[in-house]
Structure 1
Amino acid sequence: MIGRLQGRILAKHPPQLLLDVNGVGYELEAPMSTFYGLPAVGETATLLTHLAVREDAWTLYGFIRERDRALFRALIKVTGVGARMALAILSGMDAARFAQCVEQEDATALTRLPGIGKKTAERLIIEMRDRLGGVMIAPGAALPSAAGQPASGTTTADVVAEDQALADAVSALVALGYKPPDANRMARAVDDGAKTAEEIIRAALRSVNPV
């Protein structure tokens, strides 16, 4: 079992990222709660991991907080909740907000997340009640990693980068379960031309399910 990786970030295309660990490139999938805390491409990052083994694929998931990994592992044990839905939940709200929804039986907030209908929300509330204790006592602080993003400018290259950021944000929202028209609308509604892909995604998700 691979439980932790430290290496240089080669690429970030939410929800996928590529990490170079001593010359070996590891492809990981991660929730937006992890992407928000990652440094820039080329910098070093440390990630806690969960390896999911199926007959047709081995998939590695990355997290910067033990609490997020613990919640992910608890969620995929819930009937009808797979890894993709777990990533969508962790992208739309942090562990503390999810715990609050469960404790307050706020199914409405959960149904704002992609792929979660009323029945699934109610099942999450029922099945996660007894599992939240182990999740919330897990360390919540992010693992230390280098940070830093270049400032935005107004050159032609920056304009191209801004267009790419919007495209990447839309692609990520679709990968998280939103329909393409909804993903496009959400991203464009919050894009001011100066945000990174991660910032657009964060703002779009908050517009759907504000804290």
Structure 2
Amino acid sequence: MIDYIKGKVDRLETTEVVLEAFGVGYSLQISLNTYSALRGQSDTRLYVYEQVRQDAATMLYGFSSCDERDIFMLLLGVSGVGGATARAVISAYSPSELQDIISSEDTRALKSVKGIGQKAAERIIVELRDKVLSLGVSGGSSNDIVDGITIGAKKELSNEAISALTMLGYSSQQAHKAVSSIIKAEPDLPVEQVIKKALKAL
């Protein structure tokens, strides 16, 4: 089992990073929180979760903190929650925010994430309420390190946000409408914040 990979950031996208370590490039699926943590970094260490799919292919997920990986693994343990849905949840909320949401039984916040309905939200709360409290998740969010790069009128960043949302399961039309509305209202938001707001609005 791979616990973590330490290496050079070869390619970074909103939903994926390629880390090069000892001449091998590892493709890891990432959340928006991890994306924020990696921006501007040339070398990093990501904690890893290996998921073996039904077709025997292995999917690697990378996390900037153990807290995020722990929350992701707990979510996977809930019936009906797969890797894509778990990643959408940890993209919408930081580990500390999720701890608060689950502890306070805020089903509405969970239901704002694509793939989470009323029953799934209730299952997450019932099954994870005690477990998240025992994790000792630290306060604060990885969003605190965002470097201030803004979207403004830059079309490429708008496209990046739309691309990330489609990767998370939304249609291009849904993503475009949500992103356009958010950028119009708050033109100086960094791309990951636009995506987070869109995830909660869609």
Give the aligned residue type for 1:168.
E
Q: Which residue of 1 aligns with 2:193?
A: 202
| Cα distance, 1:172–1:207 mapped onto 2, change above 3 Å | closer
CA positional deviation for 1:148 = 9.6
Paired residues, what number?
A: 196
Q: Which residue of 1 aligns with 2:162?
A: 170
| Cα distance, 1:37–1:116 mapped onto 2, change above 3 Å | same
| Cα distance, 1:209–1:142 mapped onto 2, change above 3 Å | closer
| Cα distance, 1:104–1:8 mapped onto 2, change above 3 Å | same
Does the CA contact (< 8 Å) of 1:66 and 1:138 recur in 2?
A: no
Q: Which residue of 1 aligns with 2:37?
A: 37
CA positional deviation for 1:208 = 5.4
CA positional deviation for 1:101 = 1.6
Q: Which residue of 1 aligns with 2:77?
A: 77
CA positional deviation for 1:54 = 2.6
Compute the TM-score of the two structures, normalised by the length of structure 1: 0.80
Compute the TM-score of the two structures, normalised by the length of structure 2: 0.84
Q: Secondary structure of 2:122's match?
A: helix
Q: Which residue of 2 aligns with 1:107?
A: 107
Q: Secondary structure of 1:50's match?
A: strand
Distance 1:182 1:142 in 2: 27
Q: Which residue of 1 aligns with 2:133?
A: 133
CA positional deviation for 1:2 = 0.8
Give the aligned residue type for 2:38.
L
Distance 2:21 2:197 in 1: 33
CA positional deviation for 1:151 = 7.1
1:106-128 alpha-carbon deviations (Å, 9 max, x no partner) = 11111111111111111111111
Q: Gapped runs of 5+ residues in structure 1?
A: 153-158
Where in structure 2 are the equivalents of 1:149-160 lying within 5 Å?
Answer: none
| Cα distance, 1:151–1:44 mapped onto 2, change above 3 Å | same
Q: Secondary structure of 2:134's match?
A: helix
Does the CA contact (< 8 Å) of 2:71 and 2:95 recur in 1?
A: yes
Q: Secondary structure of 2:6's match?
A: strand
1:71-126 alpha-carbon deviations (Å, 9 max, x no partner) = 00111000000111110000001112112222221111111111111111111111
| Cα distance, 1:194–1:209 mapped onto 2, change above 3 Å | closer
Q: Secondary structure of 1:170's match?
A: helix
CA-based RMSD of the aligned residues comes to 2.9
Distance 1:209 1:93 in 2: 10
Does the CA contact (< 8 Å) of 1:33 and 1:90 recur in 2?
A: yes
Distance 1:172 1:166 in 2: 10
Distance 2:122 2:8 in 1: 40
| Cα distance, 1:142–1:119 mapped onto 2, change above 3 Å | closer
Name the stretch that deviates more: 55-64 or 76-85: 55-64
Q: Which residue of 2 aligns with 1:49?
A: 48
Distance 1:82 1:128 in 2: 15
Q: Percent identity?
A: 28
Does the CA contact (< 8 Å) of 1:2 and 1:49 recur in 2?
A: yes
